[in-house]
Chains A and B, each alone.
Chain A
């Protein structure tokens, strides 16, 4: 099978790979680039564990054909730290006990980041809406919502 050359920005770095036609972005990130932070949960767009940002907008990488991100910027959980410094959302998730098994956490954090990047002061309802595509089977939604709100208010305090 002939391979398709693919070049895009991955967490700020230019990467180039060859993919089979039909390869989805989740497989490209995990198996070809080696970024294991997006998770496979369903492969059907039902759980949100594979959520990534493409040019700043939230996408399900399992339902995104890899070749469609050519020339675009893909951001995953692996790229949201500033050097060794955790992103305010990561700190807020830690401090608010917003993870149990941790498997949905990368997707949750990307969904939360997409929200705060466009709306730094969301209401509780807006946070609920923003993570409504992400399933947490340990059912820890309340601490997650609280963590996103805490990160948002923390951002205001420092601004």
Chain B
């Protein structure tokens, strides 16, 4: 039971949080309509210099030689920054929570792995002079074979995109090349199904295209620190990432943000801050680094594309008895957040439906495309697109109304989900009923009467025998319940029960030095 010590904060605010229907004004609205909301680029600092970044023309190439001699002499140039100038020129975003290996340089040194990858940064008195100097940098590329397709990338002999991951897949727990979900025996169930439907789904990368492009302004502060105005959506994440790359304590920086001109997930990757701050460190001047629109589209990370194969077994009465999923998440050339997207994707399988046999294999694959990142439910939305297309096709196959077909298969309270957690506070049936009503779609009486609160649990709460599982687990692990749960299974003051035996655990990486328990969905550990 999660208990909030409300008494401690009793004086601070009342508990009446009923805001629905009231119409509450945004606190930033006055600033928005008067144009006084301060975005990062609205700061004008004395003596500010401008940074531009030379980017790779090739999707995959060895860098034979980078000649900046002529650019150094170009008018207005204050400093040219190369990979060797970056204190720790290798990072992966989720290293802050000890997840994944450092795989991405701030400035490419020996190789470029996607078109648009930064190679050299130029700090000059004006944007024009920085551009002019950029045109004078000579890069001698040796183009390499590139791979742009997730399945091609996994074939033997495929070009190695990123040497940190030589098999072109992210490696989970130091061992596994994909995330796996096993629940029941999908193959056997498919063999006994009345109909089997196998389909392939493919989505494209999607660019967030925020109206304000990514950027930051960094300036030496009066106290030896650096103040950084930034477009970031994740202020402290970007601060810590910058501190790691620049190899200084995080209290070296004072990040100022919060007013973001559209993000949607595309402003969490700390694309500009480390180089911008480094520019300020090396010149002792304020430096402004803002992506142009073309850079935002080419270099700004998109929602990663996914290829999804679904194979479902359905009975004539409409029950789905097996779902087999094989999916490939296109991470682009570096990991960024895609490793986590795959974890989320697998946790979401098989969608909000009670299916007794589920089999999932999802890969985080490296290709020579722009690295992917967060965007509005990333890892889940594409899978939902595939699953819901599939649901319509399955309904058609068994001659059922697609709405009724969803109600029939929906999670009900007390059902066991494929990742062995009990379904609670389900509402899909009610949502479908309301959607049908609003769209004047006729549901048969028995489907109008169905409820998420009825007919769940019982046999549907069982964990089926799963081939390959070393130890049978008759019950699901105890779950934390909160006051928001519809019904509490145990009286509130019941003494704690002995926890069930832990499930067989996969080989674990070495104990991380810090922070590992903060991100429960990645490590499977409870947030403390």
Partner of B34, one of A41, A46, A77, A101: A77
* Contact for B26 among A43, A76, A97, A136, CB less than 8 A: A97
Q: Is the CB of B293 within 8 A of A99?
A: no
Q: A42-B293, A135-B211 are in contact. Are A102 and B42 (CB under 8 A)?
A: no
**Could you say which residues of chain B place their CB within 8 Å of the CB of A106?**
35
- Selected interface stretch from A32-40, A64-72, A116-124, A125-133: A32-40
Which of B114-122, B255-263, B398-406, B464-472 participates in binding chain A? B255-263
Minimal beta-carbon separation of B120 from chain A (angstroms):
22
Partner of B35 from A37, A40, A137 at Cβ < 8 Å? A37
The reply to whether A41 and B212 form a contact with Cβ atoms under 8 Å apart is yes
* Docked complex Cα distance between A44 and B292 (Å): 10
> B264 touches which one: A43, A102, A137 (CB < 8 A)?
A137
Pick the contact of A86 from B25, B33, B292 — CB < 8 Å?
B33
Q: A94-B25, A94-B29 are in contact. Are A43 and B211 (CB under 8 A)?
A: no
**Across-interface contacts of B209 in A (CB, < 8 A):** 137
Q: By the criterion CB–CB under 8 Å, are B41 and A101 in contact?
A: no
Expressed in whole angstroms, the Cα–Cα distance for A81 and B34 within the complex equals 8
Given known A94-B29, A137-B211, contact A103–B35 (CB-CB < 8 A): no
A49, A76, A136, A138: residue with the most chain B Cβ atoms closer than 10 Å: A138
Q: Evaluate contact between B261 and A99: CB separation under 8 angstroms.
A: no
Give how many A residues have a beta carbon under 8 Å from the other chain's beta carbons: 37
Inside 8 A of B35's CB, which chain A residues have their CB?
A: 36-37, 76-78, 105-106
Residues of B within 8 A of A20 (CB): 128
Q: Does B83 contact A (CB under 8 A)?
A: no
**In chain A between 91 and 112, which residues have their CB closer than 8 angstroms to a CB of chain B?**
91, 93-94, 97, 99, 101-106, 109
Query: Is there a chain B Cβ closer than 8 Å to A149's Cβ?
Result: no
User: Secondary structure of the A side of the interface?
Assistant: loop
Total contacts A to B, CB within 8 angstroms?
88
B210 within 8 A of A: yes
B32, B263, B292: the one contacting A43 at CB < 8 Å is: B292
The CA-CA distance from A93 to B30 in the complex, in Å, is 9
Provide the residues of chain A in CB contact with B26, threshold 8 Å: 97, 99
Q: Among A40, A102, A105, point to the contact of B41 (Cβ < 8 A).
A: A40
Q: Once the chains are docked, how many angstroms separate the CA of A142 from the CA of B435? A: 22
Q: For residue B266, which residue of chain A has the nearest CB? A: A137
Interface string of A15-30 (1 = CB under 8 A from B): 0000010000000001
The answer to whether A90 and B33 touch across the interface, beta carbons within 8 angstroms, is: yes
B262-281: which have CB < 8 Å to A? Answer: 262-264
| Chain A residues, Cβ within 8 Å of B42 | 36
- Residues of chain B lying within 8 A (CB to CB) of residue A91: 33
- Specify the chain B residue showing the minimal Cβ separation from A38: B35
**CB proximity to A under 8 Å, residues B8-34:** 25-26, 28-34
- CB within 8 Å for A94 and B260 given contacts A41-B213, A105-B35, A137-B211: no
Question: Is A47 among interface residues, defined by CB-CB distance under 8 A?
Answer: yes
When the two chains form their complex, are residues B261 and A39 in contact, meaning their CB atoms are under 8 A apart?
yes
The answer on a CB contact under 8 Å between B293 and A105 is: no
Question: In whole angstroms, what is the CA distance A34 to B43 when docked?
Answer: 10
CB-CB under 8 A from B30, the residues of chain A are: 94
Given contacts A37-B35, A41-B213, A102-B32, contact A46 B261 (CB under 8 A): no
B375 to chain A, nearest CB (A): 12
Chain A residue at minimal CB-CB distance from B212: A103
Chain B residues with CB below 8 A from A36, complex form: 35, 38, 42, 44
Collect the chain B residues with CB atoms within 8 Å of residue A90's CB: 33-34
Which chain A residue has the least Cβ–Cβ distance from B127?
A27
Assembly CA distance A91 to B260 (angstroms): 22
From B28, B44, B290, B293, A102 is in contact (CB under 8 Å) with B28
- 1/0 per position for B181-197, CB-CB distance to A under 8 A? 00000000000000000
B173 to chain A, nearest CB (A): 38
Asked if B39 CB lies within 8 Å of chain A CBs, one says: yes
Question: A41-B213, A94-B25, A137-B209 in contact; A103/B293 too (CB < 8 A)?
Answer: no
B13 CB, min distance to chain A CBs, angstroms: 24
B37 within 8 A of A: yes
Residue of B nearest to A92 (CB): B33
Q: Please tell me if the beta carbons of A104 and B211 are within 8 angstroms of each other in the complex.
A: yes
Residues in chain B near residue A34, CB distance under 8 A? 44
Which residue from chain A places its CB closest to the CB of B210 in the assembled complex? A137
Q: Please determine whether A138 and B262 come into contact, CB atoms closer than 8 angstroms.
A: yes
Contact A103 B261 (CB under 8 A): yes
Evaluate contact between B260 and A101: CB separation under 8 angstroms. Answer: yes
Residues of chain B at the chain A interface (Cβ within 8 Å)? 25-26, 28-39, 41-42, 44, 128, 208-213, 259-264, 290, 292-293
Which residues of A are at the interface with B, using a C-beta cutoff of 8 A? 20, 30-31, 34, 36-37, 39-44, 46-47, 49, 76-78, 81, 86, 90-91, 93-94, 97, 99, 101-106, 109, 135-138
Q: List 18 A-B contacts (CB under 8 A).
A: A34-B44, A36-B42, A39-B261, A40-B212, A40-B213, A41-B212, A43-B292, A44-B293, A46-B293, A77-B34, A91-B33, A93-B29, A102-B32, A102-B259, A103-B39, A103-B210, A106-B35, A138-B262
Q: With A77-B34, A101-B211, A103-B261 given, can you name 6 additional A-B contacts, CB distance below 8 Å? A: A40-B290, A43-B292, A101-B210, A105-B33, A136-B211, A137-B262
